[in-house]
Amino acid sequence: QSALTQPPSASGSPGQSVTISCTGTSSDVGAYNYVSWYQQHPGKAPKLIIYEVTTRPSGVPDRFSGSKSGNTASLTVSGLQAEDEADYYCCSFGGSKVFGGGTKLTVL
């Protein structure tokens, strides 16, 4: 079975907004509101930035937001900053493949 599908790359200029998609199935993303997103900088452990589709943990800037429509979840980063350059992974409860393949976000 395939992992959740994410675009391999995304980019934007400082101050712009970027949206990263995560496409699953009716058994995972479409079935549950348990989608989470993780940010990973090179050589570092992943960090939870969104859970339960839309909720930000304490300390995560409100520039990060999540949403879901049908079998596709999305992460939007508004007001891009240089430190947002990282890999981003989606994750969903329900499927046999837990994580998406990851998206490398480049701040131009």
**What is the residue-wise DSSP string for 9-28?**
EEEE-TT--EEEEEE--TTT
Is 3 a binding residue for other proteins by CB under 8 A? The answer is yes
End-to-end CA distance of the chain: 34
Return all residues near 59 (Cβ < 8 A) that are at least 6 apart: none
Is 98 a binding residue for other proteins by CB under 8 A? The answer is yes
Site string for other proteins, 20-39 (x = CB under 8 A): ------------x-x-x-x-
Is 102 a binding residue for other proteins by CB under 8 A? The answer is yes
In angstroms, give the least distance from the CB of 7 to other proteins: 13
In angstroms, give the least distance from the CB of 80 to other proteins: 22
Backbone angles phi, psi at 39, to 5 degrees: -110, 135
Site string for other proteins, 45-74 (x = CB under 8 A): xxxx--xx----x-----------------
**How does DSSP classify residue 2?**
P
Of 45, 42, 41, 48, give the one whose Cα is nearest residue 64. Answer: 48
The residues binding other proteins (CB under 8 A) are: 3, 32, 34, 36, 38, 40, 45-48, 51-52, 57, 87, 89, 91-93, 96-102
